[in-house]
Amino acid sequence: MSASPDNPGRPAGREPSNFREFLSALGEPILYLTRTFKELVEMFGLTFYYMVRGRTRWRAIFEQLHEVGNRSVIFIAVTLGFLGMILIYQAGYQAEQITGDLQLLGGLFLQLLLREFAPTITAMMIATRVATGMAAQIGSMVVTEQVDALQMCAAPPVDYLVVPRFIATTIMMIVLTIFAVLVSYSAGALTAYFSFGLNVRTFIDLSFIGWFDLILCLSKALAYGMAVPIIACHAGLNVSGGSEGVGRATTNAVVNASLAVVILDFIITSLGYVALSLLPS
Asked if residue 147 lies in contact with residue 237, where contact means CB atoms within 8 angstroms, the answer is yes
Separation CA 281–CA 278 (nearest Å): 9
Phi and psi at residue 162, to the nearest 5°: -90, -45
Q: What is the pLDDT of residue 10?
A: 53
pLDDT single digits (tens) 47-67: 999 998 878 889 999 999 998
Q: What is the pLDDT of residue 168?
A: 95
pLDDT at 262 over 50: yes
Separation CA 19–CA 10 (nearest Å): 14
Q: What is the pLDDT of residue 2?
A: 47
Q: Helix 132-143 crosses helix 242-278 at what angle (to 10 degrees)?
A: 140
Q: What is the largest CA-CA distance in the chain?
A: 84
Of 65-74, 177-186, 229-238, 255-264, the least confident: 65-74
Q: What is the pLDDT of residue 276?
A: 79
Concatenated DSSP letters of 87-117: HHHHHHHHHHHHT---TTHHHHHHHHIIIII
pLDDT-above-70 percentage for the chain: 93
Asked if residue 249 lies in contact with residue 238, where contact means CB atoms within 8 angstroms, the answer is yes
Separation CA 262–CA 92 (nearest Å): 27
Separation CA 10–CA 22 (nearest Å): 17
**How high is the mean pLDDT of the chain?**
87
Q: What is the pLDDT of residue 14?
A: 53
Separation CA 165–CA 173 (nearest Å): 12
pLDDT at 106 over 80: yes
Separation CA 106–CA 190 (nearest Å): 11
Q: What is the pLDDT of residue 145?
A: 87
At 63, which amino acid appears?
E
**What ranges in the chain are assigned the alpha helix state H?**
14-53, 58-68, 73-98, 105-112, 118-126, 132-143, 146-152, 157, 163-196, 200-203, 211-237, 242-278
Q: What is the pLDDT of residue 8?
A: 52
Q: What is the pLDDT of residue 223?
A: 96
pLDDT-above-90 percentage for the chain: 53
The larger pLDDT score, comparing residue 2 to residue 67, is at 67
pLDDT single digits (tens) 17-50: 677 777 677 677 788 888 888 999 999 999 999 9
Separation CA 118–CA 168 (nearest Å): 19
pLDDT (average), residues 125-139: 90
Q: Which of 208, 212, 186 is nearest to 103 (CA)?
A: 208
Separation CA 51–CA 46 (nearest Å): 8
Q: Which of 140, 161, 168 is nearest to 250 (CA)?
A: 140
pLDDT band at 148 (very low <50, low <70, confident <90, very high): confident
Q: What is the pLDDT of residue 1?
A: 44
pLDDT band at 99 (very low <50, low <70, confident <90, very high): confident
pLDDT (average), residues 125-148: 90
The gap from C-alpha 112 to its chain's centroid, in whole angstroms, comes to 18
pLDDT (average), residues 213-221: 94
Q: What is the pLDDT of residue 27?
A: 74
CA atoms within 13 A on the CB side of 191: 22
pLDDT at 81 over 60: yes
What is residue 8's DSSP assignment?
T
